[in-house]
């Protein structure tokens, strides 16, 4: 049984924690508008993220950095209208959580105006202060470590993180730090499979992977990658689940089945 089997009620954080406890994989996608969000719900997906990746996927920018709070609120509102059951998370975009007061205002917008149940932000270190402040004020937080797209200039591009031992040790410490600060979910992006699996075992909160191997507690893909409609070179972890299937819902259902069955991600989708 997976979380979507339980009943027709909205999925909650306790449901997601129960999945980790019971070893049931959590199925997540990134989406940006109401019609496709409804199809995601129909296919039984557990969690939907309105990602600032919309800057690249929807708006055509070269990075996520130009995305504004107004854009995030708008797209979160659209997705919320299409959902009935999936747990909704929304990104705080670049510089929208640069300090606690700014983060408080912007996170409140995503929850109160946009309809999100949780906000996501990137990094550790000083970000832990923001995570703690939001969590104490009943705004659930999803942390994001590994390849953090808002740090693309510092990282020198979209590169796998944690290959060297010192970097791996830092990621493990950062993962514990964001959990201790109050994060209730963690996304790991482009992290070696063994390291991601270690972090997932060490943490009490669910760990969702994207390009982080099958040892995480769940998986997330950008919907456009999952449907094979992203232009240009696709990331290694992407897989076209629409190929050979007759509908978007069928593609999403196959993705969910593959994640829950441990078939995706395979070795060719991992680092």
**Catalytic positions:** 189
Q: Report how far residue 235's alpha carbon sits from residue 220's, in angstroms, rounded to the nearest whole number.
A: 13
Residues comprising the chain, all counted: 271
Q: Report how far residue 119's alpha carbon sits from residue 222's, in angstroms, rounded to the nearest whole number.
A: 17
Q: Report how far residue 105's alpha carbon sits from residue 108's, in angstroms, rounded to the nearest whole number.
A: 5
Tell me how far the alpha carbon of residue 87 is from its chain's centroid: 11
Tell me how far the alpha carbon of residue 43 is from its chain's centroid: 18
Which tokens in the block code for residue 220?
């997330």
Q: Count other Cβ atoms within 10 Å, centred on residue 166.
A: 8
For residues 3 and 48, the answer to whether their CB atoms sit within 8 Å is no
Rg (CA), the chain: 17
E strands of 96-217, at which residues?
118-122, 141-146, 185-189, 207-210
CA torsion through residues 265, 267, 185, 231, sign? negative
Q: Rounded to the nearest 10 degrees, what angle do helices 248-260 and 34-42 cross at?
A: 50
Q: Report how far residue 37's alpha carbon sits from residue 154's, in angstroms, rounded to the nearest whole number.
A: 33
The candidate with the shortest Cα–Cα distance to 84, out of 12, 16, 10, 15, is 10
């Amino acid at each position: 049984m997976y979380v979507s089997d339980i009943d027709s009620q909205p999925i909650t954080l306790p449901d997601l924690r129960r999945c980790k406890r019971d070893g049931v994989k959590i199925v997540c996608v990134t989406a940006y508008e109401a019609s496709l969000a409804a199809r995601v719900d129909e296919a039984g997906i557990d969690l939907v993220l309105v990602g600032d990746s919309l800057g690249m996927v929807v708006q055509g920018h070269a990075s996520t950095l130009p995305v504004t709070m107004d854009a995030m609120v708008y797209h979160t509102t659209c997705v919320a209208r299409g959902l009935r059951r999936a747990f909704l998370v929304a990104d705080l975009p670049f510089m929208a959580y640069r300090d606690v007061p700014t983060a408080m205002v912007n996170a409140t917008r995503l929850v109160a105006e946009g309809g999100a149940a949780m906000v996501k932000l990137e990094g550790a270190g000083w970000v832990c202060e923001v995570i703690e402040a939001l969590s104490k004020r009943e705004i659930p937080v999803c942390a994001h470590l590994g390849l953090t797209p808002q740090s693309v200039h510092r990282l020198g591009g979209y590169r796998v993180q944690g290959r060297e031992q010192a970097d791996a040790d830092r990621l493990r410490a950062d993962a514990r730090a964001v959990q201790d600060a109050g994060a209730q979910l963690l996304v790991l992006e482009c992290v070696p499979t063994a390291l991601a699996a270690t972090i997932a075992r060490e943490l009490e909160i669910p760990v969702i992977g994207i390009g982080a191997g099958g040892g995480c507690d769940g998986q997330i893909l950008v919907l456009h990658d999952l449907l094979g409609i992203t232009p240009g070179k696709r990331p290694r972890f992407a897989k076209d689940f629409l190929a050979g299937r007759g509908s978007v819902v069928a593609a999403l259902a196959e993705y969910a089945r593959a994640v829950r069955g441990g078939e995706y991600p395979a070795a060719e989708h991992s680092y």
